[in-house]
Structure 1
Amino acid sequence: MRSLPLALAGVLAASGAFAADLPSRKYEAPAPVVYAPLFTWTGFYVGLNAGGAFSNSRDVTFLDTRTGIATSFSSGDNSGFVGGVQAGYNWQFGAFVAGVEADIDYADLGGNHNDFGVVYYDAFGTPYGVGRGSSNHIFGTVRGRIGYAFDRALFYVTGGLAYAGFGGGGFFNNNDNVKAGWTIGGGLEYAFTPNWTAKIEGLYVNIDRGNNDGILVYNAARAPVTVSSGKNNDAGVVRVGVNYKF
């Protein structure tokens, strides 16, 4: 019977040696889960834009205040390229985004536009008139924006002040100035990196040229003839752009 305890001791010793040969299984904490930070539209940004403005004709009414004769004429292509810079700031409240933006563009518009109005008729019924070419080389806006963000995609509406600089020759010298109006539109902006966004937007623009008066001498008696002209300029603008958000 004394051999049984010895046999059990041998088995236990052998089991301990076998267990010692097994690889150790130390506890390892799971790796922490890292979540990507949510994108925010809040912040200041600057960028570039380019596109086109589209307006096929403009109406002009000429009134001879001496005779009371009024004539209207419409001609010209006021479409062309626009491109420049913009800057703005956004505030995000949940999914809603509000902001302000200002831009100024070079505008290659109206180079082919000419106006003509009848000033007076002589005794034989021959019309005498004047012509003018006009152009627009400055275009800009100062607008508010409000939109709804689907993470990195922002759909927005926008509106505010629009302005344009007009130049021209002929009978109205005060056309070489900047006129103001208004604009309204909307667009889509997408953030393709944490700092870079791309956008496409469309705007309707209405610029009030106001009334212009000039004194002309055309009849045989050299009598002065005053001609007045009222003009509004409206156009659709489509632009794409990129912004860097700080």
Structure 2
Amino acid sequence: MKKILLALTAVAAMTGSASAADLAARPYVKAPMPAPVYNWTGFYVFGGGGGGLSNSDQFIQTTTGAVPLTITQRQGGSGWFGTVGLGYDWQFSGTWVAGVFADGQFGSIRATVQDPFAQITANQKLEDSWAAGVRLGWLVAPNVLSYVNGGYSGAHFGSANFTTLTGADAGIHVNGFNRNGWFIGGGVENSLNIFGITSPGWFMKTEYRSAFYNTKTETELSNITNLPTPNRDIRANSWNQTISTSLVYRFNWTGPVVAKY
């Protein structure tokens, strides 16, 4: 009987030791972190530059005679520009972003003005313009926005001096003028946190824009005071297409906002 009790005691002791080993501290496992959440709501500023094309339908008409003569033609040109602006965005429904913005452009996008009656030509520059509009975008990735925009635009076209076919001064010019119009466009904006480089708040955007300006009638004038004018008018509209790349800084963007576990 004593032997049986000793055997049972030994078995109980070994079982207790095994249970104590099972209750030893388990290794620490770090809780999984939630995916980063990016916030596009807030103010931003930007600056950059690009190139543009200019096209216009021109109607040159004589202002003398019982039956005025008219020539219709299309002319074009190209050039460069710089741009600066600011805006505010709202992110909603997770992947949608809407905003308002205003910007200005300055540079030299040239457009040809031609008078076939006198066989003279000139380059008229789009010297500066401005725009105010809205945009709507969709997040193709948490830090990449694809968007369309549109709104109101104004522009200043400089004065132009005509030259002959040989390049000599024709002694005729047209004055500069301001025009109003509208624009539509679109682009892509993305964070510069790439290739292992951390740059919170900094973005780059590339944008296409097409602007249409109202028709303007210009009168050819002599370069010499008190001399008679050539008695010809040039009526033209303007359509400008631009592509720009800008560096953007978002004031509220401090990198991914990660919820605490």
**TM-score normalized by structure 1?**
0.73
Alignment of 1:7-18 (within 5 A): none
Q: After the TM superposition, which parts of structure 1 deviate over 6 Å for at least 4 consecutive aligned residues? A: 1-9, 222-225
Distance 2:106 2:229 in 1: 38
Residue type of the partner of 1:149? L
Which residue does the alignment assign to 1:206?
212
Deviations 1:61-99 (A, max 9, x none): 222232132332647642111222121111111122111
Cα RMSD over matched residues? 3.5
Gaps of 5+ in 1: 119-127, 217-221
Deviations 1:90-138 (A, max 9, x none): 1111122111121212222117x342253xxxxxxxxx57654311221
Alignment of 1:14-33 (within 5 A): 25-27=24-26, 30-33=29-32
Distance 1:241 1:206 in 2: 22
Which residue does the alignment assign to 2:246?
241
Give secondary structure in 2 for the equivalent of 1:60: strand
Of structures 1 and 2, the larger Rg is shown by: 1
Which residue does the alignment assign to 2:40?
41
Alignment of 1:57-96 (within 5 A): 57-67=55-65, 68-72=67-71, 74=73, 77-94=76-93, 95-96=95-96
Which residue does the alignment assign to 1:123?
none
Distance 1:223 1:202 in 2: 44
1:7, CA displacement in angstroms? Answer: 9.7
Distance 1:30 1:159 in 2: 52
Residues 25 and 65 of structure 1: is their aligned pair in 2 closer, same or farther, counting only changes over 3 Å? same
Identity %: 27
Distance 2:179 2:141 in 1: 39
Give secondary structure in 2 for the equivalent of 1:39: coil
Distance 1:3 1:203 in 2: 98
**TM-score normalized by structure 2?**
0.70
* Kept in 1: contact 2:100–2:135 (CA 8 A): yes
Answering whether residue 149 of structure 2 is matched by residue 158 of structure 1, we say yes
Q: Of 235, 242, 251, which aligns to 1:230? A: 235
How many residues align structurally?
229
* Kept in 2: contact 1:61–1:70 (CA 8 A): no
Distance 2:79 2:220 in 1: 29
